[in-house]
Structure 1
Amino acid sequence: MANWERLTRFVEDARIPLDNNATESAIRGPVVGCKNHYGSKSRRGTEVAATLYTVLETLKLHGKEPTAYLHAAILAADHGGVLLPWQVDAAA
C-alpha cells in the first residue's frame, strides 16, 4: 500500500489526535450559521466568512478573547493600522 506510512502516522506520533472532534466542534458554528442565513450568496462572501471564522477559531485555540481582538482590530483599522492576532495582548 503506497500510503501506509501516512495512514498509520498517528500510531507513532502521540501529538496526532485519534479523532477529529476538535475540528468538528470548531466548524459547527459556521455550518449552522450558513444554514440559518442561507450561505454567503457569492464566492467573495464565502472567502470573507471563511477568513473571519478562521481568525476567530485561531484566537480561541490560543486562549485569546475574539471580541476583544475584533474591537482592537477595528480601532487599529480606523487609524490606518493593522492588528494581527498575535499582537492582541500588546494592544490590550
Structure 2
Amino acid sequence: MRDQLHARLGATLETLSRKSDTCRAILYALNRWEALTRYCDDGRLELDNLPVERALRGVAIERRNYLFAGADSGGERAAAIYSLIGTAKLNGLDPEAYLRAVLTRIAAHPINRIDEITPWAVADRLATA
C-alpha cells in the first residue's frame, strides 16, 4: 500500500503544473518520503507527533508571558522547566511529584549520575513508592 501511494504520487506529479500548490505538496511528501514512512518499519514510532504538539501547547499559550521573564536566562529556565514537566507527563508521572522528588535530591546528586534522575529513570521508583 505504501509503495502504491508513492507510485500514485509520482504519477500524479507528472500531470500537474510545477507551480501548483498540489505539486508543491506532493514534492514535499516525496522529498521526505523516508522520514514520513519510517513509522512503518519501526513499531516503536508514533504515526504522528500529537503528544509532542500537545506538550508544547502550554508553551505557545504562555508565549506572551515570557516577554516579561526578565533576562534571556529567565526564558531559558522556563523552557527547561516546561521540558521537564512535559517529559514527566509523557512518562506517566505526576509532574509535581516528579519535580518534588528530584529537587529535594539534586543539590547533593553527582553530575556524572544525572541519568538516574531523568523522568524515565524515576518513574519506576515513584510507582513503587
- TM-score bracket, normalised by the shorter chain, equals 0.5 to 0.7
Secondary structure in structure 1 of the residue aligned to 2:44: coil
Q: RMSD in angstroms over aligned alpha carbons?
A: 2.8
Query: Would you say 1:81 and 2:108 are equivalent positions?
Result: yes
- 1:42 to partner: Cα distance: 3.1
**Aligned match for 1:33, one of 15, 40, 62:** 62
TM-score by length of 1: 0.66
**Aligned pairs, number:** 88
Q: 1:51 — aligned with what?
A: 80
In structure 2, runs of 5+ residues without a counterpart are 1-29, 110-115
Q: 1:21 — aligned with what?
A: 50
Q: Contact 2:66/2:75 (CA < 8 Å) preserved in 1?
A: no
- Which has more radius of gyration? 2
| Amino-acid identity (%) | 34
**Aligned match for 2:38, one of 9, 17, 40:** 9
Q: Distance in 1 between matches of 2:61 and 2:42?
A: 33
User: Which amino acid in the other structure matches residue 58 of structure 1?
Assistant: T
